[in-house]
Amino acid sequence: VLATLPAGALSYGEPAGHPVLREALAGLLARRRGVVAGADRVVVGQGVGHGLAVVAAWARRAGHTAIAVEDPGSTPIWELFNAHGLRPVPVPVDAGGLDPDRVAALTGVRLVMVTPAHQFPTGTVLAPDRRRALVAWADRVDGLVLEDDYDGDFRYDRAPVGALQALAPERVVYLGSASKSLAPALRLGWLVAPYALVGELAAQRRYHDLMSPVLDQLAFAELIRSGGYDRHLRLSLRTYRDRRETVRAVLAATRPDWTLSGIAAGLHVVAEVGENAPALVARAAAAGIRVPSLATYATTPAPGVPDALVLGYAHLRPAELTPALQALATV
């Protein structure tokens, strides 16, 4: 990529991202995730976290002070919102995901963040009627839905559920990144915004750090253009599916009393352990195994929701996973 670039390409570029990458992403996201994405809706950034910070900065200027978030949910993202002056308001998640009626019942909240394809961390899918109700609510209150599609490429039993954004492209900001497909360390992400907002979000992005590194953007665009990224995603899908199967098989053999919940997707699985998960987490830590409990991601444990472990497996080879799980099964 570097060898083909004129010197001028290394100067400051568009805050929304290099046009070549925005075009490539628009095609990729439309094709793989059903996102309604012209390049003119895309803003390139440094991951979902960065995209949310950009949206939060805009939201504060637009008068928002709070945002509804899934509970349990990604607690680091709650902290991020807090740090940007948006109060996260936890809304309980059940088997159908976030309940839009509970969001609608909040006063003074016109923003919500959801993980519709694979709720983090419980692993459910946002039910179809709730998807529709959520965007209808956003329309009614002149609000906005932030769709965190952090692991939407990875569904193992069927084609992934398409992006919520397609239901209402003017009411949803779709956010994704290369963190789960390549590596978090790349800090490469994107958002797809309503037309009414994309200019303002690009401006906020410029106030943050002017723009993303051009070489990274063009290298990633070339990976997409060449078909290499699709091949890599197909390979990763198989790899992660095998690792998930290893988790299922090892735990079925060693802990038949534990129940795995959530859809076959993503990079983690929830294991209901039928005992006080924090105590098990403490015993695991003493044995050198770091594993969080579901309660770590919740404000208050939901009544009737069994405590559980959240097992991230995608970064471990079966030869590493198997002994780790066997050890966990007996702590």
Ligand X SMILES: Cc1ncc(COP(=O)(O)O)c(C=O)c1O
Q: Which residues form the interface with ligand X (CB under 6 A)?
A: 47-49, 74, 115, 120, 148, 150, 177, 179, 184, 189
Residue (131 or 255) nearer to ligand X, CB: 131
Minimum CB separation from ligand X for residue 7, in Å? 31
Residue (186 or 203) nearer to ligand X, CB: 186
Minimum CB separation from ligand X for residue 205, in Å? 14
CB count in 10 Å sphere of residue 32: 18
CB count in 10 Å sphere of residue 269: 24
Minimum CB separation from ligand X for residue 115, in Å? 5
Residue (178 or 250) nearer to ligand X, CB: 178
Minimum CB separation from ligand X for residue 148, in Å? 5
Q: For residues 38, 39, 41 and 42, what is the CA-based torsion angle, rounded to 10 degrees?
A: 130
CA distances from 192 to 4, 28, 33, 215, 286 (A): 28, 12, 12, 21, 44
Contact 7, 150 (CB under 8 A): no
CA separation for the pair 258, 147 (Å, rounded): 31
Minimum CB separation from ligand X for residue 305, in Å? 18
Residue (72 or 250) nearer to ligand X, CB: 72
Q: For residues 171, 177, 181 and 184, what is the CA-based torsion angle, rounded to 10 degrees?
A: -140
Residue (177 or 293) nearer to ligand X, CB: 177
- Measured between its terminal Cα atoms, the distance across the chain in Å is 50
Measured from each CB, the residue nearest to ligand X is: 47
Where are the strands (E) in the chain, listed by range? 42-45, 66-71, 87-94, 97-98, 111-114, 144-148, 172-177, 189-192, 259-261, 268-272, 308-312
Residue (115 or 217) nearer to ligand X, CB: 115
Q: Which two tokens stand for residue 30?
A: 């439309």
Burial tier of 39 (Cβ tally within 10 Å: 0-12, 13-18, 19+): middle
Minimum CB separation from ligand X for residue 293, in Å? 16
Q: What is the DSSP string of 137-162?
A: HHHHHT-EEEEE-TTTT-BSSSSPPP
Minimum CB separation from ligand X for residue 47, in Å? 3
Minimum CB separation from ligand X for residue 303, in Å? 24
CB count in 10 Å sphere of residue 179: 20
Residue (58 or 190) nearer to ligand X, CB: 190
Residue (147 or 250) nearer to ligand X, CB: 147
